[in-house]
Structure 1
Amino acid sequence: MNRRPDDNQQTYLELLRERMDVQAVLILPESDMLVPFREGTFYIVVVNHSHVDTSIRRMRIKKQVIVEQQISRWQLEKGAVNGLDERLAMMLAKAEILWDKEGYMKHMKQRLSRLPEFLQKKNICREYSRLLRFFHETKERLQQGMALDAYHSSIQSLDSWARLIVYEAGENPQAAIWSQVKQLDYSVYKLYEELSFNAEALEKRIELLLLAMEFWIISHMKNSVRFLIEVMEKRNGPWSLQDLMNHPLIQDAEIEVPLIVDKMVQRSLIQEVACSNHQNGDEEICFILLG
């Protein structure tokens, strides 16, 4: 149940309404785990400033604590195109609108709930690369007899897998992500459940997870790396690894590019070619798309 403003807090809200720069006011549920403080009513205040850092203020009004987080329209507009900070996106999705000038925030919440196709592909590629990394870590640590370390890596791989499933559905990950995944892909949810609660030996549970994960990684690869493929399609010639990693669309995307490129070569999605000769006779290995 939401914290409704009482008589004392109405004074605070009236002051916000009188401010020319305030576009909307939202309130978070009192039991929400995203709230950084256990005490106080949490408000999100949307302002018209061109650029405002997301800042939090804690105030006391007539012995009652109010927590206020400001966010600018500029940040929201940018987030609708490029994606918001994940925690902030979750908060806005859960927050109830108390006051909304010209219906701006109602429309913005709808925009933020839908992932732009470009952002969806980028997020899928990022989580796929993380899934690959943690899959290999899990396998290697299990082979080395480090069962608990392998278990830790397997949980991280499942987290990336879960987020990938959510992004494929065009949604943003929620705080209770496994409840979300249960509705979207029950088979992946069941693997997480089996790893956590099955009575078999830990090593056996991890081995079974790795088998299922490897099959999924192979069968979903082309779709999962679509973002990287479309970047490479922008050039007719070969790409060096450094060219790819420095590309403006990839540079800040947190994608494990070398790992994905290696896997794409193995699956014949791209091919290695020599693209430059150095004075000492060394050849740099570059990559071109295949069919």
Structure 2
Amino acid sequence: MENTLRPIYQERASHPDTLAVIMIERKNQRSPATDMFDAALLIIVRSAEVPVHMKHYEFSGQKASLHIVTEKQISEWLMLGTNRRIIDWVLNGKVLFDRNEYLYQLVERLSTFPFSERKLKIVMEYGKLIRRYFEGKTFFEAKQYLDAYNHIVHALHHLARLEVIDQGFYPEITVWNQVKQIEPQVYKLYQELIDSGEPLNKRLELLFLASDFLIHSKADVGAAHLLSILEEREYWHFSELLSHEEIAYYSVDLNILLEFLVEKQFVGIHLIETKGKGIFHRTYTFIKSY
């Protein structure tokens, strides 16, 4: 396969903007890792007119895809976790070209997982976890059990990813295999939800009770990134938090995350008078614990 695809990637590998070339071959006929193609080529470049460019090829009854992706886009995917397959490709693909050990250093970064990146990814997962949990609970209270089930499965998935990240690992596509080794308690919750012989409403009732405890117990870890930013000033307007460069990564869940932290007394409210009688600006302040 490599020899067949060589003419496709060789010219690009010689370009000074090309940082790495990786080939991923389909392991079996049912594997979706390469989108049902026999092989995929990932070419990482410094910059391009568009962040992602793809081409499809066919030869001798086989098919291959070419993915040209900018370095910035790769970093964004790794940070946001929106394309987890890329982690699998980078870690397990066959390296065909690596300029100045770019790929080696990227794999090293994935292996060591710097603490600052971990804190950011954890709060992103924590915000999604809280949103899914409360949306699921609303459906449960309305007796919409299938919708509640869908949301609690997603909530548990975010909790699982949070646990994996907290232990210093990037969550893989097979995240539950990781969690089974790292945090059996969360894995057991997931098993009880999908395998228990209890009626669905009873399973959900138990899961919401257990999840409520776990979510609260993880608040100091889950919200550490946001709390450390809040600690930098006496108080913050919501708009100031939204415009913060790093908080922008989880701005979509910032509202519900803040309200949860206020309720759990990790964050306090500081009111500032406005020109309107009896109307105040609501600002947020870090509550120190001693």
The normalised TM-score by structure 2 is 0.85
Query: How many residues matched?
Result: 284
1:289 to 262, 286, 289: 286
Partners of 1:137 and 1:153 within 8 A in 2: yes
- Map 1:1-291 to 2 at 5 A: 4-6=1-3, 8-12=4-8, 14-16=10-12, 18-31=14-27, 32-36=31-35, 38-49=36-47, 53-61=51-59, 64-73=62-71, 75=73, 78=75, 85-87=82-84, 88-236=86-234, 238-254=235-251, 256-291=253-288
**8 Å contact 1:50–1:73 — kept in the other structure?**
no
Distance across 2 between alignment mates of 1:216 and 1:245: 27
Shift of the 79–245 alpha-carbon distance from structure 1 to 2, 3 Å rule, reads closer
Q: Which amino acid aligns with 1:211?
A: L
Letter in 2 for 1:46: I
1:285 Cα offset (Å): 2.3
| Distance change in 2, residues 1:15/1:90 (3 Å) | same
Say if 1:258 and 1:89 are closer, same or farther in 2 by CA, change over 3 A. Answer: same
Please identify, of 42-51 and 53-62, the stretch whose mean Cα deviation from structure 2 is larger: 42-51
Amino acid of the residue matched to residue 184 of structure 2? Y
Superposed displacement of residue 102, structure 1: 4.1
When structure 1 is superposed on structure 2, of 256-265 and 224-233 the one drifting more is 256-265
Letter of the 1:28 counterpart: I
Over the matched positions of the two proteins, sequence identity in percent amounts to: 24
- Structure 1: 5+ residue runs without aligned partners? none
In 2, Cα distance between equivalents of 1:199 and 1:189:
17
Gaps of 5+ in 2: none
CA distance in structure 2 between the aligned counterparts of 1:269 and 1:163, rounded to whole angstroms: 23
- When normalised by structure 1's length, the TM-score is 0.85
Q: 2-side partners of 1:69 and 1:75: how far apart?
A: 12
Contact 2:272 2:283 in 1 (8 A): yes
Separation of aligned partners in 2, 1:146 and 1:58: 43
Whole-Å separation in 2 of the counterparts to 1:19 and 1:230: 43
Q: Structure 1 residues 52-61 or 154-163, which shifts more?
A: 52-61
Partner SS state of residue 27, structure 1: strand
